[in-house]
Structure 1
Amino acid sequence: MAPSNATSRLPSLTGMRFLAALMVFSVHGAAAGVFRDIDVAAGYYRWFGNAGAVGVSFFFMLSGFVLTWSVRPADTVRGFWRRRLLKIFPNHLVTFAAALVLLAVTSSAIAFPETLANLFLVHAWVPDSGYVETANTVSWSLSVELLFYLSFPLLIKGVSRIAPSALWYAAAGTVALIMLLPVIAQLLLPDTPGFMFMKVSWTQIWFVYVFPLARLLEFVLGMLLARIVLAGRWIGLGVVPPALLTLVVYVGAVRIEHNPLYNYVALTVIPLALLIPAAAASDVKGRTSWLNSRPMVWLGDISFAFYCVHYLILIYGHRLFGSDPNIFGKPSGPAWNTPGGLLFLAAALVVSVLVAWALYALVERPVMRRWGRPPGPRRTEQIPVRPEGTAETTAAH
């Protein structure tokens, strides 16, 4: 693999990982149907319904960025693959088993071959919603990440050969391809039958949101952004402007009627593509903020475990306490009033953090410490991030 000269950790990006996971939690809170008032439920979904898509897009770009940032000269393809598989599969297998137990306890049907595809993380390749909505539903994104990891050794060779002067052009071209995906889905894929209440089909949604090859573009974009920072080609933009731009675009998407296919990735790809390298450049310069504070870094460290457990806690917690009848056969309301629904979401968040902490401490961290140590030291050259207001263009490769 091509070497990296990155020596700095990126605590701000670690803290931002939890914020992205929290966005995914918020949309699944809407999907859990905890509010009795239809208007409140509709309003909640309107404002948070696309938050999960933004969080997932952030994760996919961040994966490409961090892997490119941290690759070591002494690493091998086999060693890289081993560490990446050890990173995702232990948590996945634990939560997969938990999902099967919960399905059995609630007397829910276990679908085959969908569940088997989920186990081996190949289910995102199938354009059928039944494959995504099985066992621990959120694992579809791990199926996508698996493609990222398997293809990274090949992709890094190509990305490393791009001249520093051409990196921004490559990033812009990748963004253009990402923004073209909804157009392709509209023109080439059937828009019927409509999925849920939307005027688009599941096939179209799958193509722009779930299909691993489509999401690979965000991963490659993250790789290019890492090289831009490493090559001293970053434009000196701080964290606040792209964060505000992300918020403005998100709010605008909520308030303006448009084709929902653009919500999943296309509308927020540019703000996120500016936010990630801005945070990395800030960390390299040693700037402190609440994002890289110790509590946020801790939450970021457990964010993958949080992502794996939160959906099960939300859905089955609601079935236990709020469904009619609940899993013990005792009737209770199908949902709560607004304070009750908010209280449930807050409790589910706390429980998710605690369970994630346990999963991280008992499974993820011990596995990575025992078998996931990469070979060799990092290189020690200084990372030439362009100072704000200067024309520094020193290349790191």
Structure 2
Amino acid sequence: MTHVPYPAVGVTASPSRPMTLPSLTGLRFFAAFAVFLFHVTLFTSPLPPHEPTNPFSDPGIAAGLETVLRQFGYVGVSFFFILSGFVITWATPEQFPVGRFMWRQVMKIYPPHVVVWAISLVLYAGAYTAPQAALLNLTLLHTFSTDPTVYVSVNPPSWSLSSDMLFYMLFPVLAPLVRYIPVSRLGQSAGLLVLGMLVVILVTTHLVPDQPKSPISPISGTQFWFAYIFPVTRMLEFIVGMVAARTLMAGCWPRIDLLSAGLALVASVLIAKQLPFLYTFGICYVLPLTAIITECAARDRDGRSPLWMDRPVMQWLGRVSFGFYLVQGVSIFWLSGRLGLQDLSVAAGIGAIVLYFCASLLGGWLLYRFVEEPSMRVARWVTALSKGEMA
């Protein structure tokens, strides 16, 4: 690592501060794929009757994969929260119309969510989901409930969208506060946010009821909600991303070795495996993930995107990653039960995972092509109309 920082950049789009960061687009797919690997090796599905999605009959292989990939989902989700804070801070000028900003964020998240919500209800969730839970899920308010049958209802991956929506709604309030931090205090601010994540763990351990036990984790359903699901506690990672973006923009980000940051992430996963369950959600990975995101953005800005992240195939995978992530509830949890893809041989189990992957990728592309892209075109059209540019 070298301590020579990247130069500062302005607060508006310029050659020194491009609005697109191709390597971060490509990295999105790896985060979504990490969540996918976590989902296909679960011994307990988040959906009733909580049957395993792990397809292998050999207990050694099944347990080994579940152990190796256990943290991947938590790493992927933490990556997305940090990335959201970083990208939105990087791309948004200091002065921005709040109404148009809100409209764009809602149109980005909500239409794909509604489509997958409806498909999930028709295919499987309608059989056991209470109307109130379905309505809360539809409105992305379900993660404010402490009831496990609500906060992972209908389409389980949608829980993170509830957090994203809160982050975006509060961004107009958070952005001035982050800009108010003195440049010399940005590093300390990031440290305080990580300390806040530790406080969440301690509060969860000692103050949140540890009964009844969660059907999908070794802690109580309320503890799992407060430490992992609750949007307010997950907001700390979003703000870490905001602070990291401001650090790079202010010229305080040191040039680092991406290989070292990657090895630090691997080490953090290995360390998490030795820690109590509550420490495995985000706190172990937040610093290496932030380092990877910020360094890749810095290299994008300098026109030297790392490895092959700016290649067309990675850009395509990154663009469909949101849909790929969102349709996993259908492609994995529904297909595994519908087709009875459990207790399989090694070859058949690998075939089942390939099937899940292909179904998720196809569903992600369909969602991107026919829902997400049209929704964003509508958002841009309405924005242009409101600015009088359509006259």
Superposed CA offset, 1:197-217 (max 9, x none): 854212111111111110111
Write the letter of the residue equivalent to 2:96. D
Task: Measure, in 1, the Cα distance between the counterparts of 2:291 and 2:200.
Answer: 20
Q: Distance in 1 between matches of 2:371 and 2:148?
A: 30
In the TM superposition, residue 170 of structure 1 has moved relative to its aligned partner by 1.0
Among 234, 239, 256, which residue is 2:253 paired with? 234
| Long gaps (5+) in structure 1 | 324-333, 376-397
Deviation digits for residues 203-240 of structure 1 (CA, Å, limit 9, x no counterpart): 11111111111011111111000000001100111322
Write out per-residue CA displacement over residues 77-99 of structure 1, whole angstroms, 9 at most, x where no aligned residue: 00000000000011001000100
> How far did residue 178 of structure 1 move?
1.3
The answer as to 2:310 corresponding to 1:292 is yes
Counterpart pick for 1:72 among 90, 93, 100 = 93
Q: What SS class does the counterpart of residue 178 from structure 1 fall into?
A: helix
**Aligned counterparts of 2:331 and 2:200: Cα–Cα separation in 1:** 33
Q: Distance in 1 between matches of 2:174 and 2:217?
A: 36
Distance 2:163 2:204 in 1: 19
Cα RMSD (Å): 2.0
2:169 aligns with 150
- Give the count of matched residue pairs: 361
Q: In the alignment, which of 360, 374, 378 is matched to residue 370 of structure 1? A: 378
- Preserved CA contact (<8 Å) 1:238 1:279: no
Moved more, 308-317 or 117-126: 308-317
Q: Does structure 1 residue 278 correspond to structure 2 residue 286? A: no
**How has the CA–CA distance of structure 1 residues 102 and 208 changed in structure 2, closer, same or farther, with 3 Å as cutoff?**
same
Deviation of 1:181 after TM superposition, in Å, equals 1.5
Does 2:48 align with 1:48?
A: no
Helix, strand or coil for the counterpart of 2:284? helix
- 1:4–1:69 CA contact under 8 A, matched in 2: no
In the alignment, what sits opposite 1:337?
Answer: 345
> What amino acid does structure 1 have at the position aligned with 2:303?
G
Q: What is the one-letter code of the residue matched to 1:136?
A: N
Give the conservation status (yes or no) of the 8 Å contact 1:111–1:134.
no
Q: Is 1:249 aligned with 2:268?
A: yes
Structure 1 contact 4–68 (Cα < 8 Å) conserved: no
Residue deviations 1:164-197 (CA, integer Å, cap 9, x gap): 1111111111111112221111111122333348
Matched, 1:27 2:30: no
Partners in 1 of 2:211 and 2:310 — Cα distance? 46
Distance apart, 1:39 and its partner CA? 2.5
Could you tell me how far 1:7 is from its partner in structure 2? Answer: 2.1
TM-score, L = length of structure 1: 0.86
Q: What CA distance in whole angstroms lies between the structure 2 residues aligned with 1:116 and 1:278?
A: 41
Give the match's secondary structure for 2:41: helix
* 1:66-105 equivalence runs, <5 A: 66-72=87-93, 75-103=96-124
Sort the Cα spacing of 1:89 and 1:42 in 2 relative to 1 into closer, same or farther, 3 A.
same
Aligned partner of 2:271: which letter? G
User: How far has the Cα of 1:245 moved from its partner?
Assistant: 0.5
With 362-371 and 54-63 compared, the bigger mean Cα shift is at 362-371
Distance 1:292 1:19 in 2: 14
Work out whether 1:261 is the aligned partner of 2:278. Answer: yes
Alignment partner of 1:352 out of 341, 360, 385: 360
**What does residue 329 of structure 1 align with?**
none
TM-score by length of 2: 0.88
User: For 1:173, which of 184, 192, 196 is the aligned residue?
Assistant: 192
Aligned residue number for residue 219 of structure 1:
238
SS, match of residue 267 in structure 1: coil
Within 1, Cα distance between the matches of 2:332 and 2:218?
Answer: 27
- Asked if residue 7 in structure 1 is aligned to residue 18 in structure 2, the reply is yes
Name the structure 1 match of 2:47. none
Per-residue CA distance 1:329-376 (angstroms, 9 max, x = gap): xxxxx431122111111121122112211111111011102323667x
Letter in 2 for 1:30: T
User: Paired residue for 1:319?
Assistant: 337
3-state DSSP of counterpart to 1:169:
helix
